Amino acid sequence: MKAQTIISILVATSMALASATVFAQGRGGQGQGGASAPERAQVERGQRDFDRDRMRDRDRVTEPAHDRKRDQDRTRAPEHAPQGENGIYGSELMSVQERNQYREQLRLTESDPKAQTKFKAEHREKMQQRAKEQGKEIKDPPKNGKTDS
């Protein structure tokens, strides 16, 4: 009788451990990887950011003169640049907050030329529509120097 009780306890314990292990590995049935879609997307974004930073670091090591030139371009605005807004198409129709959002979106898409081109085209259409509604004309940003249009 004692042996049968011990065996029953061992079987129950092993079954409990096995189900706990399966639950921990599968996170309760969330799928193969155990990570939800938002978690996977966040990991992928982090990996892209890491890869982009690694490529920039590599470029800085192999082309330090180019890096200095780029840093100078970032810190020195042309004399005709009104508060650095000259590169944004339709900036005169945008609020400060909209310009900041534009720059942030441009920064986020800098590693994907197709996405950046699409973003700029959508922005251009939006500004043309806004100008039409307000009865204004949009000036193209100057072509000398770096533009974001």
In a domain, 55, yes or no: yes
For residues 22 and 15, is the Cβ–Cβ distance under 8 A? no
* 107/68 Cα distance (integer angstroms): 19
Answer yes or no: is 134 within a domain.
Answer: yes
Provide the number of structural domains found in the chain: 1
User: What is the pLDDT averaged over residues 119-133?
Assistant: 92
pLDDT at 36: 81
Q: For the stretch 68-87, what's the b/e string if a residue is b when 16 or more beta carbons lie within 10 angstroms of its beta carbon?
A: eeeeeeeeeeeeeeeeebbb
Q: Which pLDDT score is estimated for 88? A: 86
Instruction: Let me know if residue 28 belongs to a domain.
Output: no
34 within a domain of the structure (yes/no): no
Q: Domain range spanning residue 119?
A: 45-66+87-139
Has residue 73 been placed in a domain? no
Cα(98)–Cα(89) distance, integer angstroms: 12
Question: Can you read off the two tokens belonging to residue 36?
Answer: 């939800």
Q: Which residue has the higher pLDDT, 117 or 21?
A: 117
Angle at 57 (CA atoms; ends 55, 63), nearest 5 degrees: 95
Of all residues in the chain, the percent with pLDDT exceeding 70 is: 70
Q: pTM higher than 0.75 for the full model?
A: no
Residue 80 domain-assigned? no
The predicted model gives 30-47 an average pLDDT of: 75
Task: Give whichever of 12-16, 19-23, 121-125 has the largest mean pLDDT.
Answer: 121-125
Q: What is the pLDDT of residues 61-104, one digit of tens each?
A: 777 666 566 665 555 544 444 444 557 888 888 899 999 999 99
